[in-house]
Structure 1
């Protein structure tokens, strides 16, 4: 998975935030978390949904039975770095990660599944509730 992610990250950065292949047309960001055990910075491409000033990300792990490592990392260290691109340039900023709960989580996961139908499939592959996390940009 690391080599797969490395190629997506490289393509994202080389193309101002745009990628092709299976993620073409899906809004992506690069999310850098701090390892819960190691303290090492880890960057992952993740699908996102803009909601006003915040970005929402989905810990789907393609419907795997467990949460992705980046989700565990941001629970332990909620200050993250976000890279967002518009196809020409990438903006990098610090954000605070806050998991959504209840109706708000359900509403935004349903919205993401409507916009990117594979997310509905991811939920059918697992018995866990796929977390939705809001990323709030740090105020300077």
Structure 2
């Protein structure tokens, strides 16, 4: 059981996505995205028909990516718990809903043209997170 957040967790989720029919249905996805959970930062590199690389990075790297998603650890856990309970994100916890209803920006990026990848490939990212319903996830202290 991988901890969230960790490289192992993101890689196991990547394996699920890469084995799914998502890319066949939705097409290629080429972007470098980031995930911020508290003071931890992860880079996910999508190349054509796979999520090819997952690494833990430093905060400075986030500004070099196309975009990154930011929520508190508790908000990430609430989203993942909703996905696990329902097999996919319900309305309140979809990436689009989180982006639209957030008091602060959910999808951040220095370059608005590059940040557009969040919207262009949104369903691929949603499939990625929805597939985590199959992961048995543990949460370290601090991710209540």
Question: Which structure is richer in relative contact order (CA contacts within 8 A, separation 6 or more)?
Answer: 2
Higher strand share: 1
Q: TM-score, normalised by structure 2?
A: 0.27
